[in-house]
Amino acid sequence: MSPDRQAMLFGLGAVAMWSTVATAFKVALGYMSPLTLMWIASLVSWALIGVLVARQGLLGQALRHGWRTAAWAGLMNPVAYYLVLFGAYDRLPGQEAMALNYTWALAMAFLAVPLLGQRLTRIDVLAGLIAYGGVWVIATRGAVFDVAFADPLGVGMALASTLLWALYWLLNARDHRPPLVAQWQNFSVGVPVLTGLLLAGPGIAWHGWTALGAGIYVGLFEMGIAFVLWQLAVHRVSRTAKVSNLIFLSPPVSLLLLHLVVGEPILPSTLVGLVLILGGLGLQQWQKAPVPVAQS
C-alpha cells in the first residue's frame, strides 16, 4: 500500500472518531460536570499516550527534556481548551457548539498576523466574513437581525475555545518535541491541575457506568487514538491538503449522530450556519500560495 493511501486511511479513521465525539460529549455531560468529564478523559488519554511513548522508546527523553514548554502548554491544552469547550457543549445544543468550534482554522489565520507577522490575503478576509456570518446565524438561531443571542455565554465559550486552540498551535510552532512526547507531557501537567480543581470543587463522585464509559470514550478517541492516527496521516502523506480536506466530512456525520443518538432536532439555522462556516474554510484552503517570481 502506498504511503498516500495509508495516510488517507489513517486520516479517515481519525475523522470517523472525531465525528462521534460531539455525541459523546453531550451524553457524558448529561451525567457529570465538564470538570469531571475532563478529569476522566485526561487520565485515560495520559495513560494511553504514556504506553505509546514507552513502546516507542521515548520515555527517557520525555522524562528528561521539554518540561519547560509543557509547563505552559499543558495549562492551555488540555486544561483551558477542553474546560472551555466542554462548558460550551454543556450550555449549547451539541450541533451549535460543534459548528462554532470549526472556526478555529480562521482564528488561527487571524492570530498569525500579530503573532507571526503574516499577512492576510483578500481571500482570508472574504473567507472570514463568510464563516463568521455563519457563526452569527447559529448564535442568533436564524434571527440574524436580533442581537439577543439564545445563550451568549455558551456562544462566547465556543468561540473562546477556537481562540485557545489556534493560539496553542501558533505558540507551539517552534516546539521541537516529538508529537507523542509533547502530548504526554502536556497531559502530565494537566492531570494534577485538573485533580486539584476537582478536589477543591465538586469532589470525586461516582456517576454510573454510562458516565464512566462516555468519559473513557472521550479520552480514548477525542484525545488519544484520533490524535495518533492524524499524526500518522500528516507524516505519511505527500501533500498535507490531501488529508486536511477530510475534516469537512466530520460535521455532517456529527449532526446525524446528534440527531439519532441524543435526539437533537437539527435546526435550520445550524444547517445554514454550518454551510457558511464550511464554505469559508473551503475558500481559505482553496487559495494557492503565491508563486515565486522565478517560477511565474
pLDDT tens-place string over residues 90-120: 999 999 999 998 888 788 888 888 887 878 8
Q: How many domains does the chain have?
A: 1
For residue 290, tell me if it sits in a domain: no
Secondary structure element (H or E) that encloses residue 176, with its range: none
Mean pLDDT of the chain: 86
pLDDT at 293: 36
Q: What is the 3-state secondary structure (H, E, C) of 39-72?
A: HHHHHHHHHHHHHHHHHCCCHHHHHHCCHHHHHH
The three three-digit cell numbers of residue 41, written as one number = 478523559
DSSP-assigned letter for residue 113: H
Q: Which pLDDT does position 124 carry in this prediction? A: 83
More confident residue, 92 or 236: 92
Q: Looking at the domain assignment, is residue 296 inside a domain?
A: no
Does a structural domain hold residue 27? yes
Return the ∠ at Cα 209 (arms to 190 and 189), rounded to 5°: 5
Our CA angle for 209, 213, 216, nearest 5°, is 140
C-alpha cell at 147: 442581537
Give 189's pLDDT tier (boundaries 50, 70, 90): very high
Report the pLDDT value the prediction gives residue 145, as an integer from 0 to 100.
Answer: 72
Half-sphere exposure of 226 (CA within 13 A, CB side): 18
Contact between 24 and 218 (Cβ < 8 Å): yes
Exposure of 122 in the CB half-sphere (CA atoms within 13 A): 0
Residue 168 in domain:
yes
Q: What domain range includes position 275?
A: 3-285
Q: Is residue 153 part of a domain?
A: yes
Give the pLDDT band of residue 158 (cuts 50, 70, 90): very high
Residue 294, domain member (yes or no): no
What is the signed CA dihedral for 6, 9, 12, 17, rounded to 10 degrees?
-100
* pLDDT computed for residue 292 by the predictor: 38
pLDDT at 53: 94
Structure confidence at residue 121 (pLDDT): 83
- Residue-wise pLDDT tens digits, 22-54: 999 999 999 999 999 999 999 999 999 999 999
Q: Is residue 16 part of a domain?
A: yes
Q: How far is CA 174 from CA 75, 98, 116, 168, in A?
A: 18, 29, 11, 11
Between CA 75 and CA 86, with CA 81 as vertex, the angle to 5 degrees is: 130
Looking at residue 174, the DSSP 8-state letter turns out to be G
Q: Is the model's pLDDT at 291 over the cut of 50?
A: no
Residue with the bigger pLDDT between 238 and 156: it is: 156
CA–CA gap between residue 206 and residue 38 (Å, rounded): 15
Residues 219, 44: contact at Cβ < 8 Å?
Answer: yes
Q: How far is CA 97 from CA 48, 147, 167, in A?
A: 27, 18, 19
DSSP state letter for 96:
H
What gap in Å lies between CA 137 and CA 279, rounded to an integer? 14
Let me know if residue 64 belongs to a domain.
yes
